[in-house]
Amino acid sequence: MDRIFLFIFVDEQHQLAYVIMKYLIAGLGNIGLEYETTRHNIGFMVLDHLAKEEKITFALERHAHHAELRHKGRVIHLIKPTTYMNLSGKALKYWMQQLSISVENTLTITDDIALPLGKIRMKAKGSSAGHNGLKSIEDMLGTQSYPRLRFGIGDNFPKGRQVDYVLGRFTEPEWRELPPLIEKSCEMVRSFCAIGIERTMNYFNS
């Protein structure tokens, strides 16, 4: 939805009323100290950084840690699901219904082994590609057409060791590369909410 205001009629007079656009940003990950700073938790890490920049804090609510910010007239809800990765869709669907936010105004931030570290891509739709968090969202929403921000973590693991890799922590060299990538991800989140997914993809994906 591109229109951010509409006309209403009150007492036979024209009045202008602003429609508050709402967005839901879900950073995927697993709760618990043992999962902090692991590759699979990059979605949590991005939202933690965004919350720090905006000087807001998360509160534990149903199915997620939740925070809210305003950007360019938009209300942006951030959630870090507490359902664990494999049930991410349960949290996303609950908050979509709770806040009355359509799927087009959601953005899921996820790790992606198909992209090397340093590559970040926004997509409007796509398959889960074996990612359990995305598979859960696909199952709960009944569609593959939901926006997602794919944060590349690479695939530098031996055959059969994918689980160990994604649940492992970033190496020291990788850790040094993360700050500008996380910063870029936050910029892409803001852009998605301000100018939409198509223009954001055109600007950042190239």
| Bridge partners (DSSP) listed for residue 18 | 5
**Token pair recorded at residue 186:** 């936050």
Position 20 scores a pLDDT of 83
Spatial CA neighbour of 73 closest among 24, 26, 25, 18 = 18
Which of 40, 65, 66, 131 is flagged as catalytic?
Answer: 40
Q: Is the pLDDT of residue 3 over 60?
A: no
pLDDT tens, residue by residue, 131-165: 999 999 999 999 999 999 999 999 999 999 999 99
Position 18 scores a pLDDT of 60
Q: Is 40 part of the annotated catalytic residue set?
A: yes
Buried/exposed code over 63-92 (b: 16+ C-beta within 10 A; e: otherwise): bbbbbebeeeebbbbbbbbbbbbebbbbbb
Spatial CA neighbour of 92 closest among 79, 104, 105 = 79
**Token pair recorded at residue 170:** 């970033």
Domains of the chain: 21-204 (3.40.50.1470)
Mean of pLDDT over the chain: 92
Q: Is the pLDDT of residue 14 over 80?
A: no
Q: Is the pLDDT of residue 25 over 80?
A: yes
